[in-house]
Chains A and B, each alone.
Chain A
Amino acid sequence: MKRWRQRGMRPATESAPPIRTRRSLFRKYFIALFAAVVVPLLVNGASEAWFGYRDQRAQLDGLLGAEARSAAGKIGGFIDGIRDQLGWMVQLPWSAAAEERQRIDALRLLRQVPAIMSLTLVDGTGIERLHVSRVGLNRIGGGADRSGEPAVIGARAARAWYGPVTYYRGSEPFMTIAIAGNRAAVGVAVADINLKLIWDVVSAIRVGRSGQAFVLDRQGRLIAHPDISLVLRGADDASAKPLQELRAAILSAGGAATTGTDATGRTVVGAMASVPGVDWSVLVEQPLAEAFAPINAALWRTAALLLAGAALAAALAYWLARRASGPIRLLEQGVEQIGAGQFDHRIDMRTGDEFEHLASRFNEMAGELAVSQERSERINQLKRFLAPQVAELVGSGADSSLLDSQRREVVAVFCDLRGFTAFSAKAGPDEIMGVLGEYYEALGAILTRYGATQTSFLGDGMMLLMGAPLPCPDPALSAARMALEMQEAVQALIAGWRRRGYAIGFGMGLAQGEATIGRIGYEGRLDYTAIGSVVNLASRLCAAAKDGEILADATVAAAVRPLLAVEDLGTLPLKGVDDLQVYRIRESRAADADAIPPVPARAAS
């Protein structure tokens, strides 16, 4: 309470423990800023990844599909090449001279096309005319009737006939191709093809880095594979199972690229195309990891970018949050200092933004608080002699000239107790101070209410001014009424005191006139008072007044006469004053002056 009085403020140290808001503000800013950057980044990254994945997947499908078609084209080319070569053998009709020519052509054909293991030429009637073989014996004019063989019938019906794939000794894949000429007379060429030689073609097919192709016939038997031993294991070997399953998976997926396993158990993506004529399926496969490498790379790239973006966002958010919360912290510290009463503290902020504005506002506020405190102290000082409202008015500086020295028409009011000196001589200090306490308490309330200016305490009396420093509309009447109230209040006290045996009375004197008013004294101990004959006169009147009397000069009497009872007491010889007309003021119609017991005048006490 002491400091409150000293500072006029609640000090910060006594307020509730300061809440640590800096961190939470920082966190809020950080989270908000971070989220503002990262959320769109994440959404964008995720959608990009998703669409990228779909595009890449579609691209992969397309790519593998194209690879499959290309591979099928190459395998088809192998078969078509053989078919076209065979076509040469069935262009000219058989005649007696044709046999030798045909034999030479057939042998040359074998030399030219390594895949043909043997070649049989059948004439227009279905009779075998020539057979040449790589490992078996050649036959010329064999004469066997081959018109009933499926190859001959098939070729005659459709020009080209492709036999089923057979596995010689359960191992090597063979197939018969029969080609008929454009007329019956040229006959049919029937060739046994060693399909092992498709390896040349199939092993040259590369899909991506390590992808490969393989060929299945209609039944799903392996015809060609870069690992020739898979083919040589025959039609029913279990090692070809995954390849058949891959084909089934692709078929059930409607031809789209599908994931499966290859013969070695790798997970692959496969696509398929068919070879027309022979009705084979050419499948291309690429290891999943390799096929998805671009997709995975894109996903990793996106993830890395997201991570980098998030890191950048975090750094940015940290920086911004620091920027935002730093000044606030500085402001908080500044305000705390100012709050603690250091009104000379100034928040030093050069951020060039609203924070600097805010800081300068705080600084202005601190300045004004300093002014306000100064004023408050001044007002407290003024309240020592001015009525509170006057003190506020004067202290607020609305008219700082009010307290300046000037001559002014004022009413000086003096009052004091009669018989107090005798009382104080007999009574103990407690009694004396108790009486004075009651006395001044009673008077203080009244003179505050009337706005009287108290210039000084005179032990058991005091001097009051009405009409200074603030002018008063009717100072005499106000002063008179105040005096009546004071007299009444003190008389009530006197009644109590008398019961206790204290012979104390109370008299008052009022005078109106011009006086010089202003502050006298020295720094820290200034009084506001009036100097002039009117003061002396009022003092004399007070001294002359008996207990319960209020004496006034002519000016006051004239001013209050219409409203209050004024009794002319004639001229009284007052000390230092020539004969002066003196009036006693009483409540209107009050005629109980006699009821008041005579108390010795102050001069006599």
Chain B
Amino acid sequence: MHVHEEKTGLYGLMAEFDQAQPLVDAAVAVMGAGYSKVEAYSPFPIEELNDIIHRKRTILPKLVLGAGLTGMASGFALQYGTSVLAYPLNVGGRPLATWTAWVVPSYELTILFAALTAAVGMIALNGLPQPYHPVFNVERFDRASSDKFFLVVEAADPRFQKDETTRLLEGLGAKGVYDVAE
């Protein structure tokens, strides 16, 4: 509806829950209502939450595969360049392009590229490092690391309408619904 919504200074709405199960139920209901920009916060990991609110699969595996293949190709290219093009030495009568012996360094480079991409890519795709996040503008949010459970619906969500979304969250048994300033 609000295609050109003006900046309201509102990041989203935060609902507070006392326990894990109401948070999971609320997440299911909010996703069921068609929202997509939703995030949950809890003092301990709740495994099923991830499947509920993060429906889009990460592209990280594809990046890692691509990086691994690049590493392998670089390994072979590096050894071809040095052993065949730059320094063609006769070692024990073997052919210059002894690719079987190149497998080991190429394998190492495959792992190096793939592992670095996995580690750095995971951090980058998580949006880290992130020195500022609006959720901390809510004072109650401190409790997310001790004993409270929070569900945040972003204002950027196409379905987001402040009054309607507030009513939805309150109807799901939230102990409080707070505006999150941007």
Query: Do A and B belong to a common assembly?
Result: no
Q: Which residues of B contact A (CB under 8 A)?
A: none
Q: Which residues of A contact B (CB under 8 A)?
A: none
